[in-house]
Structure formats: structure tokens, C-alpha cells
Amino acid sequence: MQYSEKVMDHFTHPRNVGEIEDADGIGTVGNAKCGDIMRIYLKIDENDVITDCKFKTFGCGAAIATSSMATELIKGHTVSEALKLTNDVVVEALEGLPPVKVHCSVLAEEAVKHAVADYYNKIGRPLDFELPVDDDEE
């Protein structure tokens, strides 16, 4: 299986690993098929800007690389911009993933959406986007 240099870079040196204790939004998703779990923490200011973002992923290399890239892509952006993050964008930023590993990248998009939903819930804002179903809970 051939991984791009970008994937190897983010897998061996993942950015934004860890947790945020007083996070404004936390999203956890799992992949029922492989059992991998990804959790994303967001710190959001009063202008809806994601000022900090961290992740913890118990999963394969592709899942770690995509979490790392996803946090890099949404940090400093607003939550509505973060909601536009699709797995295609993450995979493209990583210069591609082997087809069998694309399902791993979907976790990042889902974890971000769940973290934003958690934030909305905390501040009492109604959900105005579709929340992906967590595979693990099916």
C-alpha cells in the first residue's frame, strides 16, 4: 500500500494531539467495522472562531493522519467553515489515500460535525445541519 509523503508526515508527526480540558465542543465517533475511535476537542470564541483544536485517535495510521490534517484545516476558522470540511477536502490535502483507507478519513469529517453539534447544544443554538450517524451507535 502506497501512502503519500503528506500522510506519512502527519502520521509520524501528528499535529494537535491531546485534549482540551475546558473544550466548548467535543465530538466522538467510531468506525464499527474496524473499532477505531476518534475524538475532536474544539475551543471556540464569542465570534464562533475555532481558536484551538485537538484530537485523540485510537486508530490506524490513515485515521491519525486525517485527524491531524482536519485539525490543521479548521483551526482559526469559524464553525460554519468547519462544517464545510468534507472527507474529500481532507484526502486532497493529504495528497490522496489508498482507496481501502478512504473510509478512515470520513471519521474526521464526522468528528468535527459532532463537536460542533456539542457546541451548539451547550450554547442552546438549534442544529441547522445534518449530523452524521455514529457507526458505533447503530
What does 4-73 look like in DSSP terms, one character per residue? -HHHHHHHHS-SSBS--TT-SEEEEEE-TTT--EEEEEEEE-TTSBEEEEEEEEES-HHHHHHHHHHHHH
What positions carry a catalytic annotation?
34, 104
Q: Nearest distance from residue 90's CB to ligand FES, in Å?
A: 13
d(CA 50, CA 54): 11
Q: Nearest distance from residue 62's CB to ligand FES, in Å?
A: 5
Scanning 57-65, 70-78, 85-93, 114-122 for contacts with ligand FES by CB under 6 A, the matching segment is: 57-65
- The strand pairing partners of 44, in sequence order, are 50
Q: Judged by CB, which is closer to ligand FES: 45, or 92?
A: 92
Residue with cell 489508498: 98
Is there binding between residue 16 and ligand FES (CB under 6 A)? Answer: no
d(CA 107, CA 60): 11
Is there binding between residue 59 and ligand FES (CB under 6 A)? Answer: yes
Identified binder of ligand FES from the candidate list 29, 73, 104, 117, rule CB under 6 A: 104
Q: Nearest distance from residue 66's CB to ligand FES, in Å?
A: 8
Is there binding between residue 60 and ligand FES (CB under 6 A)? Answer: yes
Kindly state the helix (H) or strand (E) to which residue 40 belongs, with its residue range.
strand 37-44
Is there binding between residue 118 and ligand FES (CB under 6 A)? Answer: no
List residues binding ligand FES (CB under 6 A). Answer: 31, 34, 36, 59-60, 62-63, 104, 107
